[in-house]
Amino acid sequence: MTESFDADWLLLREPADHAARPDALLATLRTALGGARGAGPLEVTDLGSGTGSNLRYLAPRLPGAQHWRLVDHDAGLLEAAAAPGAGVEIERRVGDLAADPVAALSGREALVTGAALLDLVSEDWLASLLAASVGQGATVLFALSFDGRIRWSDPHPLDAELEDAINRHQRSDKGFGPALGPAAAVACAAQLEALGYRVESCASDWRIDAEQAALGTALIDGWVRAASEVAPDRSAALQAWGEARAGSLARGAVELVVGHRDVLGWP
């Protein structure tokens, strides 16, 4: 059973996700895909697609007709996905990615992609997926992998303790085996290079201030719960940290950067 995400959380994070995506990778992506385009639409498979946030970001930025294959284990989330414009058709596939990542591929993809996915998966899972993707010559783009950085504009004595606990929790099994967690983007780039692909990687950090206080509060609440699982004897102190941080963020007294990276690989 893979980890599930609430539709409200996905909606809350989407503006921050889209704002964080680096324009620097788009030109290279379009060039790589231009050489792969045949007579039909561009074939894209989006893994762990949820309600289609990655589709909504990428499809308008790619040229020509496109066929998107959205794969997720949650049928309800998939049902909420819709094509973002003319020339983009979507296919929904319900499937548990943890069972076999290769089975999620059609074998015809020009692009294999996913967002906020790789930090949940194991190194072996990633190796299987990338080997299959490279074997068929597909370009790969994995976005918004958490890289372990939680940075505040004004320090708090418990910031480092919270970050350490979160990064330990990130490495626990999320349904795909021992998770790569904050090492995901680096592991993805290294595996692609070992398979002979060219690779570009860019930061895709969330930047959260008082205007995104609702996102920040939800994030802080989740962090406190996760950190308390790792260090239950520190739960009271971590709860106090969370309340202080959420209040400061809502007042505009601090800003928050959450580190992510995007990785692009192509033949």
In the predicted structure, residue 51 carries a pLDDT above the cut 90: yes
- The pLDDT of residue 37 is 59
Q: What is the pTM of this model?
A: 0.95
Summarised one tens digit per residue, pLDDT across range 250-265 is 999 999 999 999 999 9
Nearest to 113 by CA among 61, 181, 150, 148: 61
* pLDDT of the residue at 3: 54
CA–CA separation, 108 vs 131, rounded Å?
15
208, with CB counted inside 10 A (0-12, 13-18, 19+), is buried
pLDDT at 38 over 90: no
pLDDT category of residue 5 using cuts at 50, 70 and 90: confident
Q: What is the pLDDT of residues 201-211, one digit of tens each?
A: 999 999 999 99
Structure tokens at 35: 């050489």
Of 94, 91, 102, whose CA–CA distance to 73 is shortest? Answer: 94
Question: Minimal CA–CA distance to 60: which of 42, 35, 78?
Answer: 42
Q: Is the pLDDT of residue 4 over 60?
A: no
Distances (CA, A) of 84 to 7, 44, 54, 182, 256: 18, 14, 11, 31, 30
75 burial class (0-12, 13-18, 19+ CB within 10 angstroms)? exposed
Is residue 2 pLDDT above 80, yes or no? no
Whether 1 shows a pLDDT value over 50: the answer reads no
CA-based torsion, 200, 206, 207, 211: positive or negative:
positive
Buried b (16+ CB within 10 A) or exposed e, 186-195: ebbbebbeeb
Domain 7-149+172-206+260-266: state its class.
alpha beta
Instruction: State the DSSP code for 41.
Output: P
Percent of the chain residues topping a pLDDT of 90 = 94
**For residue 134, pLDDT beyond 50:** yes
Residue 36, pLDDT > 90, answer no
pLDDT for the residue numbered 39: 72
| Tally of residues, the chain | 267
pLDDT digit string (tens) for 145-167? Answer: 999 999 999 999 999 999 999 99
Question: With 70 as the cut, is the pLDDT of residue 11 above it?
Answer: yes
pLDDT of residue 104: 94
- pLDDT reported for residue 207: 97
Dump pLDDT digits (tens) for 93-104. 999 999 899 999
Q: Where are the domains of the chain?
A: 7-149+172-206+260-266
Candidates 178, 154, 183, 155; CA nearest to 167 is: 183
